A and B are shown apart, each in its own frame.
Chain A
Amino acid sequence: MQILDFERPIFELEQKIEELIDLSQKGDVDFSEEIKKLQKKVKKVRRDTFSNLSGWQKTQLARHPDRPYTLDYIRFMMSDFIELHGDRGFADGNSIVGGLAKLEGEHVVVIGHQKGRDIKEKVFRNFGMSNPEGYRKALRLMKLADKFGKPIITLLDTPGAYPGIGAEERGQAEAIARNLREMHMLSVPVIVVIIGEGGSGGALALGIGNRVLMLENAVYSVISPEGCAAILWGDGKNVEDAARALRLTSNDLLRLKVIDEIIKEPLCGAHRDSKRMASILRRVLRRNLRELKLLSPDELIRHRYEKFRMIGEFMD
């Protein structure tokens, strides 16, 4: 398990508690007083650490390899999942997965970026950075949902689009642009959830919804802090400043009215309790779906349009 720097004090305390519990069970010495004290302390440290995370710390959490990925959420919160592959043009596009599933008994089409955990899977998923086929497959599935009147749920988790020769040759800009336009024409409810890294255009290509929800420790940004630091500060060292300046945390984005709702994560983050995270998300999705089902197809399209039409700040 990867432990981030700011998580270390918590882990150390937890370890100490475990050791003491172990000792008390083995020997005659009673450590219950110390254990209680330490438990109190760890609670406070957890709360203090996680209520005050910086943009850069959240970026690290959002990228944590033990954080649940799209297929984990599908497994934990949906049933009868049938994965559908391919863009019907060139390839499967396996940095994005999608298919039919049931959420609380209701049929939905679910689509999301997919990262890998071990090296082999990471390479297979291209580290969650999609080639154009991924976006085209996603659009194909969305149109399928539209045609048969099924709600769409998309889960965003990508460092960004893949900066490769093939991706450019096969027109990733066109693929992303087309999704942005076509998602505005869908006559079914679309719920977008940023579950981890919302990396620029590659994330936005699945990001046009009637609801845009965001996990507490997820991030969503026009460029990675590293990229921003490299371009604007001239080196990669100012990632923390860049992360702060970009305002990429869920709190920032709620305040800027770019997202509709923050979904609370279990204390210490989704990576500490994937199942619990999934069950929280399932409840939130159910509620949002129920609300959106009250809208007619035309209302859904108008609602989505007006939501994005409003975003931006300027003076006339």
Chain B
Amino acid sequence: MVAWFHRVKAPLAKIKRDRVKVPNGMWMRCDRCREIIYKTEFENNARVCPKCNYHYRISAMERIGLLLDEGSFQEFDRDMVSTDPLKFRDTMKYKDRLKKSSKKTNLKDAIVCGAGTINRHRIQICVFEFKFMGGSMGSVVGEKITRGIERAIHKRVPMLIVSCSGGARMQEGIFSLMQLAKTSASLARLSAAKIPFISILTDPTTGGVTASVAMLGDIIIAEPEALICFAGPRVIEQTIKQRLPDGFQRSEFLLEHGFVDTVVHRKDMKSTISKLLDFFGNTIFEKES
């Protein structure tokens, strides 16, 4: 039997992949569906694959560009940095990890916060940057979110938080856990002040960030197919020793189980938020004419 499969002749020449030469930079292959897509179309589609609808991760600044009116963004607390309060060191010093991430992203920590307008509605916004240590929440992220919320209360404008995070930042130990408490506390005040909070969940939103700000929105919107969970799939698989079903902990799964209000395509996100802001009303920014 085995002899059937025995190749007597020399092996066939390897098939050359990607033989078709594409003009540099005009086309790309989708990471998920492997289809060739026209780059301009992909960019115009808010970095979503036009063939399979895969929402690529985008940076905090790109997100702000997509959501806010052009030129309206004003950043706050840009220079806030971690002091490495625990002098944490694993296989690498936390300080060095910070430096590395900082170089990669040109940011000081894993969040960008500020004020701006969405179709002329004034808002306060915080956007996680996943490329900075997995968008993890330590003292800086917690403080910047809290200040953002406090500004929203003070100025009486709606609050937007776009989550994209692996959760709490282990390298800040208990301080990172306490940021869940701190941010939730300020959201209690925001809620008491009757100021709307729109929480936008993108891939991935996990761990401590899900168990605090992400799940506390008056309105919770998810991007399609984003991983949204508390305990990650790998941890669960290790615990129950079973493979998880497809689509588990994805946006559509959360919609089905009642934990998000709606799932919205990235291209439609701005107009959806704008409609919500219309609904909440009374905060329209009057442009001086």
Contact = CB atoms under 8 A, between A and B. Distances in A.
Interface string B127-160: 0000000000011101100100000000000000
Interface residues on B, range: 35 or more
A245 B88 CA distance: 6
Contacts of A314: 80-83, 139-140, 143
Interface string A145-187: 0000000000000000111110111111110111011101100
A164 B207 CA distance: 14
B176 interface: yes
A105 interface: no
A181 B191 contact: yes
Interface stretch (B45-53, B54-62, B182-190, B264-272): B182-190
B259 A174 contact: yes
Contacts of A169: 257
B188 A181 contact: yes
Given A168-B229, A201-B208, A305 B185 contact: yes
Given A163-B231, A245-B86, A221 B174 contact: yes
B36 interface: no
A312 B178 contact: yes
A200, A258, A305: residue with the most chain B Cβ atoms closer than 10 Å: A200
Contact of A222 (B79, B91, B174, B214): B174
Contacts of B229: 168, 173
A27 interface: no
A164 B89 CA distance: 31
Contacts of A248: 173-174
A168 B174 contact: no
Contacts of B81: 314-315
Contact of B173 (A170, A180, A246): A246
A101 B8 CA distance: 83
A55 to B, nearest CB: 10
Nearest to A177: B215
A123 interface: no
A124 interface: no
Interface residues of A, number: 56
Contacts of B188: 181-182, 184-185, 305
Interface string B35-76: 000000000000000000000000000000000000000000
Given A164-B236, A233-B91, A200 B177 contact: yes
Given A165-B248, A173-B214, A245-B89, A312 B185 contact: no
A256 to B, nearest CB: 6
Nearest to B234: A163
A308 B212 CA distance: 14
Interface in A185-230: 185, 200-201, 204, 207-208, 220-223, 228
A201 B177 contact: yes
B180 A313 contact: no
A207 B181 contact: yes
Contact of B212 (A172, A177, A228, A305): A177
B82 A222 contact: no
Given A176-B230, A314-B83, A171 B259 contact: yes
A181 B259 contact: no
A167, A171, A176, A180: residue with the most chain B Cβ atoms closer than 10 Å: A180
B249 A184 contact: no
A85 interface: no
Given A168-B236, A168-B249, A222-B174, A204 B214 contact: no
B169 to A, nearest CB: 8
Contacts of B83: 313-315
Contacts of B168: 200, 222-223
B1 interface: no
Given A308-B178, A311-B182, A201 B170 contact: no
A231 interface: yes
Contact of B257 (A161, A170, A184, A312): A170
A315 B146 contact: no
A181 B211 contact: no
Contacts of A173: 210-211, 214-215, 229-230
B146 A180 contact: no
Given A180-B184, A180-B212, A181-B188, A313 B85 contact: yes
Contact of A316 (B77, B85, B230, B235): B77
18 contacts: A161-B211, A170-B257, A180-B184, A181-B185, A181-B188, A184-B184, A200-B208, A201-B177, A201-B208, A204-B177, A204-B181, A221-B173, A232-B171, A234-B91, A309-B186, A311-B175, A312-B139, A312-B182
Interface of B: 77, 79-83, 85-86, 88-91, 138-140, 142-143, 146, 168, 170-182, 184-189, 191-192, 207-208, 210-216, 229-231, 235-236, 239-240, 244, 248-249, 257-259
Interface of A: 161-165, 167-174, 176-178, 180-182, 184-185, 200-201, 204, 207-208, 220-223, 228, 231-234, 238, 241-242, 245-248, 252-253, 256, 258, 304-305, 308-309, 311-316
A-B pairs with lowest CB-CB distance, top 3:
A312-B139, A163-B231, A180-B184
